[in-house]
């Protein structure tokens, strides 16, 4: 299906190889036979988790994000550390490191392709319930504040532009939709 849309990689060149990101420049054959150049970022993938307390509050993290020069409010997340790492294991690790919490139950919500125009990054997003507090242990270069708030407040924060992170917006809105569906509101 849609074979007339596929592009075939003819040549790939590494432009930059960093600790996290790898920039590629590929030459491709287009469906019409012409050649074109594609520059893209190779990413190891990531996992994220939206922790949900029994009373309906969620747990987010506030941190400074250098590329956009802003403090953001996000769900805990991190990159897959090794090729083939189980995304659920990564989500559990990030929840513990960034918030101190562990969860008794995880449910896969979705896989999000973050920026398909220039990156292959996929983020696997989980909902976590049956939360137990513990000691936060962020990476040495991470400075994070854990923040709890009602789910409805997070939805409102999205509407007024206080929450701008795409994975967080996706997880919060999907969780809110699921909650409303269970309550018969959809």
Cα separation, 26 vs 39, in Å, equals: 6
Give the closest residue to 87 by CA, choosing from 109, 65, 104.
109
Q: What are phi and psi of 3, to 5 degrees?
A: -60, -25
Task: Count other C-beta atoms under 10 Å from residue 125's C-beta.
Answer: 24
Element (H or E) spanning 97, and its range? Answer: helix 87-99
Task: Count other C-beta atoms under 10 Å from residue 164's C-beta.
Answer: 15
Task: Count other C-beta atoms under 10 Å from residue 165's C-beta.
Answer: 20
Q: Residues with catalytic annotation?
A: 140
Give the closest residue to 154 by CA, choosing from 46, 84, 59.
59
Q: What is the DSSP string of 76-88?
A: -EEE-SSTT--HH
């Amino acid at each position: 299906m849609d074979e007339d849309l596929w592009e075939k990689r003819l040549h790939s060149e590494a432009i930059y190889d960093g600790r996290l990101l790898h920039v590629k420049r590929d030459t491709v054959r287009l469906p019409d036979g012409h050649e074109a150049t594609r520059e893209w970022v190779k990413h190891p993938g990531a996992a994220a988790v939206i922790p949900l307390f029994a009373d309906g509050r969620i747990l987010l993290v506030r941190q400074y994000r250098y590329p956009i020069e802003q403090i953001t409010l996000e769900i805990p997340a991190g990159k897959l550390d090794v090729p083939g790492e189980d995304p659920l294991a990564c989500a559990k690790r990030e929840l513990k490191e960034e918030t101190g919490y562990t969860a008794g139950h995880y449910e896969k919500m979705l896989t999000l392709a973050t920026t398909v125009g220039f990156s292959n990054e996929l983020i696997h997003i989980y909902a976590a319930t049956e939360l137990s507090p513990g000691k936060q242990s962020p990476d040495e270069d991470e400075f994070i504040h854990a923040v709890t708030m009602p789910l409805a407040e997070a939805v409102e924060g999205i509407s007024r532009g206080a929450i701008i992170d795409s994975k967080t917006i996706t997880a919060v809105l999907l969780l809110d939709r699921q909650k409303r569906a269970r309550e018969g509101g959809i």
